[in-house]
Every structure is written in structure tokens, then in C-alpha cells.
Structure 1
Amino acid sequence: MNEAIVSVFSDHVCQLGEGPSYDPATDALFWFDIVNGLLLEQGVASGVLKIHELGQMASAIAIVDDRRQLIATETGLHVRDVATGRLTLHTAIEADNALTRSNDSRVHPCGAFWVGTMAKDEAKGAGSICWFFKGELRKLYSEITVSNSICFSEDGTIAYYTDTSTGLLMRVACDPATGLPVGESKVFVDHRHSKGYVDGSVVDRDGVLWNAVWGGKAVKAYSPDGTLLREISMPAGQSSCPAFVGAKADRLAVTSAWKGKDDKQRKLDPQAGMTFLIDIPVNGRFEPRVLIA
């Protein structure tokens, strides 16, 4: 088995780094510092970092077209003009609930967007997972404490998600044409007796699910049947979410966070909040574009 080489992609320290997504057209990785309302953008080859102030908590980004992006924020889905950075509210999600914010979200291969929410103070059962497709919004799952691990098989027939507080990574059949779940969810991985918590995930072309383990200082890879294939040690304790990057989508970027750590704990975890690059042969793929209308 090939050895994974882990390096620092960006030494910009995020309190809560999350939601990485790679744009192959510009060779840039986008990610967020959720609690500080920042969108970060860094060229993979160039290494040039841009910091965009959003003015509100945001957690996920998707490409609409060459001129527009869709961003999940604490008030809903906003269209972002790439040239100016201007945000325009497209579809409100829990905008009347100041206690919640967006969290882990990802685009289904058909162009639907699964958007997770949670309480800003992680209050039990305050969040949900919603489905957005061509302007239509539906709530799929309610009473979610910390929505995470939303990702899909390449053919769109399987969706994964978790409520991190449960320790259970779930799997559900999906309609590939709409991205809507079909039937009941089943446990894919029971992580309750392992170190750390299931955070963000992404699925490669081989159906392997790559999961960032919050508090476990690791990224784990699972086969399509839920077998643990490998565990990669990470430099920071709280890995939060992976994304495929590079011209061939054959590398992994992983965000992290220092949120919840006091000064003493941060000194023991000096790279917490940085974003890392894992060089490992991985059969990744680019994120689909989101269909907003």
C-alpha cells in the first residue's frame, strides 16, 4: 500500500475550517472559516491565497457556472458573483431561526444540493438536512444535531450522511435523476467505539468513502461495503472535511479547526486550523455543478 505524504496546503489558521471544494477551471480550492464568516480561496499550483469576508456564517460552496457560485449560509442559499463577490439570496433556509446555521453540504451528481444545518451552539436535534433542486426545497431529515458527511456515489444511486453526535455514518439509496432518497437509511459505519467523530466525507470513482475524523487526528477510507481500508494520520487533531484537488483530482485537501480548544490545548496542537494536502494515489472526481433553476 502506497504511503501517504501529508503536507501543509495553507498555513492560514481557521477557527473552524470547513467545506472545501475544488474548482478545476481555476485550479483553486475554496473553503470556509465558518464562525468568522470567511471564504478562503487558494490556487493549488500558485499557492496564492485570497480571503473574502462574507459578513455571515457560511459553510459550503458549489459551482453554478463560470460566473456564479452557490453558497450555503446561516440564512440560506446565496448566489455569489465570482467577479465582484456580491451575494444575492436565492432560497432562504431557516432564515427566521437565528439559532441555526448551515453546515456540511454537497452536490449530488444530478445537480441537486443536499444542505445540512445545525444549532450554532450544537443544541441537540436543532438541525436538519434539506434537498434543493432547480429552485425547489424539501426537508429530508429533521432533529439532526450536527449534520455531516453528506456525499454521493459517482452514479448518484447512493447517498451518505451522519448526525455526528450519533457516531453512525448512514447510507441510503438515491434516485439518480433527482438526488432524492429512496427507502430507509441503514448504518454504513458504526464509529461509536472508535476515537473521534465522523465529520466530512467524499466518495471517489471507486466508491471509496474518505472521511475526516474530528478529534481522531485522522482521515479514514472505507470500501463500498463499509470495510476500513486505511487510516491516514493527520497533523491536526480536528480534521473536518476532505476534497479532491488537482488537474486529475488525484490528491486530497483536508480542512481542520482549533474551535473548542483553550490556549494550552492549542499549544499542544500547533497546526490546528490549517489546511492540509494528502499526496496519495486516489481516483478522485470533480464536484458536479449545482442546478439552481
Structure 2
Amino acid sequence: MTDHVSILCDIACELGEGPSYDPATNRLFWFDITGKRLLEKPFPDGETVVHDLPFMASAIAVIDAGRQLLAAENGLHVRDAATGALSLVQPIEADNALTRANDSRVHPCGAFWIGTMAKDESRDRGAIYWFFRGELRPLYRPLSIPNSICFSPDGRIAYFTDTPRGLLYRVDCDPQTGLPVGEPAVFVDWRGSDGFIDGSVVDAEGVLWNARWAGGAVDAWAPDGRRLRTIAVPAAQATCPAFAGADASRLVATSAWKGKSERQRGAEPDAGKTFLIDMPVCGRFEPKVKIA
């Protein structure tokens, strides 16, 4: 461990992803996508509860005090927070058994951007969709592995990447609808550098925090594209950061052991675990998603 990083949860996920903190319940949620599990932990030191799911899911958002929305391999499901009961409310690529949801996040207005990809990571089988008040639209396709979906605090900028291509994009957004206006422009060109751009989140000051897959790090990027700092984490395949805590001043990051042999896992015992990056950040809470 580094001076700033400790293990928040020692359950090793094959593909840990989609961390999201609910301030109303002081609970952190995240997924083991390929393991079909939703993990729930009272933050920071409560016992982690593992919920088995009937499908691969990758992202969670709060609807209201009793309901959550899950992005899953066949669409969006409402989850009863008390019982775990699930109901499909918006099919997405439900007729395509070869794809699943991936990185997704709620825009400040309540719109949900949902990424999809091939389960076997085949190129150009995925897309990014926009869902708001019952309406679904495709935004960008074809993509291979959509990631890094996140938004500026005022909702005027969206970010996303297609991880294998190594370019992190920014695009102007309508803050009232979460729809892009204009064409995406390159924000960070990571081609040829160490690792790949994975999940991201933007803090209250507009700084983008990115988990670097195969780079074992979380990078902070200023709104003008300058890299401000890099924090090493003890898992090469870092996947996604999130803000947590009563004032959103703590940073957590998920990781994965997917694709590693037993020998490689033995050499990297913390792969797949979830980490607390114990340094103050100016985080912000995720907005609630508006489904109707």
C-alpha cells in the first residue's frame, strides 16, 4: 500500500466496477460484473453485503428513497432497495445476447448515459445511450468499450472514451436535458502511454479523476487537460473511482483480476479489491436519475 491507499473491501471481484455512494443511506454500492454480484457496504467500515444478481450489471443510480436503477445486460431495471426485487423498465439491446452494459453515469439533470459493449470485447459492438424520463436515444456508435462517462458539475460538459482507442473526449451538453450539442473533441490523448483510460468521475471543481486500467493508478485531470497528479493503487487493473463520505471528500476505486492466471494473481494479491484513497477531494454526490 502507498501512504494514501488502503483496502476498503477485501472481496476480490473478477471485474469490479460502477462504484456509487448514496449519502441518504451512507452506503457504497459497486458491482462484480462478470460475477453477477452487487456489493453494498456501509461506509467506510461496515460489513459488506453481497447480493447475487440474475444478470450482469454494471451501474446503479438512486431514483428515490426506496428505489434504485440498475444498468444490466438487457436494459434498465428498477431495484427495490429494501427487498432487492427487480423489474425491467427499459430494454436496451435485450435481443442481443452478445452484449452487456458497461460504464454508465447520471447527468446533473437526471438523464442517464449508458454504455454497452460485447461480452467478449469484440470491436465496435457497443454504444452509448441517453435515457431521460422514459425516453431512450442512441448517442454514439459503434464503440468497442465505452468508458469514462462523467459530467461537469454544471452539466455543460460530458466526457467519454472508447478505451481501446486511447482518446478521452469532451463534448458540450445541454444542462437541461443532458443531450450533447456539437461534436466531441479530444480532451486527453493517451495513445501509446501506460495503460488505458477506464472509469472516471468529475469533482466539484471540475477535476476529472480517472482509473487507469493496466496502469495501476488513478489520475487527476484539470478542466484544461493538464494532468495534476497520479496516485498508484495496488492493482494493475484499476477500473472506476467514486466519491464517498458525508461530505463526498473521500475517494474510492474499484479494480479487477479478470484475465489473470493463478500465478499472476498470486503476484498481485490485491487485484479485484476495492480501495480507499485517503486524501481529501472536493467531491460531489451523484444526482438522482429521472425515469418518468
TM-score normalized with structure 1 length: 0.98
Structure 1 counterpart of 2:246, which letter? A
User: What SS does the aligned partner of 2:263 have?
Assistant: helix
| Match in the other structure for 1:234 | 233
Alpha-carbon contact 1:116-1:148 (below 8 Å) kept: yes
Gaps of 5+ in 1: none
CA distance in structure 2 between the aligned counterparts of 1:45 and 1:252, rounded to whole angstroms: 11
Q: How does 1:45-60 map to 2 (within 5 A)?
A: 45-60=44-59
CA distance in structure 1 between the aligned counterparts of 2:160 and 2:131, rounded to whole angstroms: 16
| Match in the other structure for 1:151 | 150
Is 1:253 the counterpart of 2:252 in the alignment? yes
| Match in the other structure for 1:110 | 109
Structure 2 counterpart of 1:133, which letter? F
The Cα offsets for residues 64-87 of structure 1, whole Å up to 9 and x where unpaired, read as 000000000000000000111000
CA distance in structure 1 between the aligned counterparts of 2:196 and 2:275, rounded to whole angstroms: 19
CA distance in structure 2 between the aligned counterparts of 1:206 and 1:193, rounded to whole angstroms: 29
Is 1:6 the counterpart of 2:5 in the alignment? yes
CA distance in structure 2 between the aligned counterparts of 1:4 and 1:190, rounded to whole angstroms: 29
| Match in the other structure for 1:225 | 224
CA distance in structure 1 between the aligned counterparts of 2:240 and 2:277, rounded to whole angstroms: 12
Is 1:166 the counterpart of 2:170 in the alignment? no
User: What SS does the aligned partner of 1:165 have?
Assistant: helix
| Match in the other structure for 1:44 | 43
CA distance in structure 1 between the aligned counterparts of 2:209 and 2:125, rounded to whole angstroms: 27
CA distance in structure 1 between the aligned counterparts of 2:86 and 2:69, rounded to whole angstroms: 9
| Match in the other structure for 1:244 | 243
The Cα offsets for residues 204-226 of structure 1, whole Å up to 9 and x where unpaired, read as 01100000000001000000011
Alpha-carbon contact 2:15-2:34 (below 8 Å) kept: yes
Structure 1 counterpart of 2:199, which letter? G
Residue 193 of structure 1: how far off its partner (Å): 2.1
Residue 47 of structure 1: how far off its partner (Å): 2.0
| Match in the other structure for 2:180 | 181
| Match in the other structure for 1:201 | 200
CA distance in structure 2 between the aligned counterparts of 1:18 and 1:110, rounded to whole angstroms: 23
CA distance in structure 2 between the aligned counterparts of 1:278 and 1:36, rounded to whole angstroms: 25
| Match in the other structure for 1:95 | 94
The Cα offsets for residues 50-74 of structure 1, whole Å up to 9 and x where unpaired, read as 1111110000000000000000000
Structure 2 CA distance for partners of 1:158 and 1:84, relative to 1, 3 Å: same
TM-score normalized with structure 2 length: 0.99
Residue 280 of structure 1: how far off its partner (Å): 1.2
| Match in the other structure for 1:123 | 122
Gaps of 5+ in 2: none
Structure 2 CA distance for partners of 1:190 and 1:275, relative to 1, 3 Å: same
Taking only the aligned residue pairs, the percentage that are identical comes to 64
Residue 4 of structure 1: how far off its partner (Å): 6.0
CA distance in structure 1 between the aligned counterparts of 2:152 and 2:29, rounded to whole angstroms: 22
User: What SS does the aligned partner of 1:288 have?
Assistant: coil
CA distance in structure 2 between the aligned counterparts of 1:29 and 1:169, rounded to whole angstroms: 26
Alpha-carbon contact 1:4-1:232 (below 8 Å) kept: no
User: What SS does the aligned partner of 1:184 have?
Assistant: coil
CA distance in structure 2 between the aligned counterparts of 1:233 and 1:5, rounded to whole angstroms: 9
User: What SS does the aligned partner of 2:124 have?
Assistant: coil
Structure 2 counterpart of 1:38, which letter? R
Structure 2 counterpart of 1:162, which letter? T
| Match in the other structure for 1:272 | 271
Alpha-carbon contact 2:20-2:242 (below 8 Å) kept: yes
The Cα offsets for residues 83-102 of structure 1, whole Å up to 9 and x where unpaired, read as 11000000000000000000
User: What SS does the aligned partner of 1:255 have?
Assistant: strand
The Cα offsets for residues 95-119 of structure 1, whole Å up to 9 and x where unpaired, read as 0000000000000000000000000
CA distance in structure 2 between the aligned counterparts of 1:37 and 1:199, rounded to whole angstroms: 20
Residue 252 of structure 1: how far off its partner (Å): 0.6
Structure 1 counterpart of 2:127, which letter? S
Structure 1 counterpart of 2:152, which letter? S
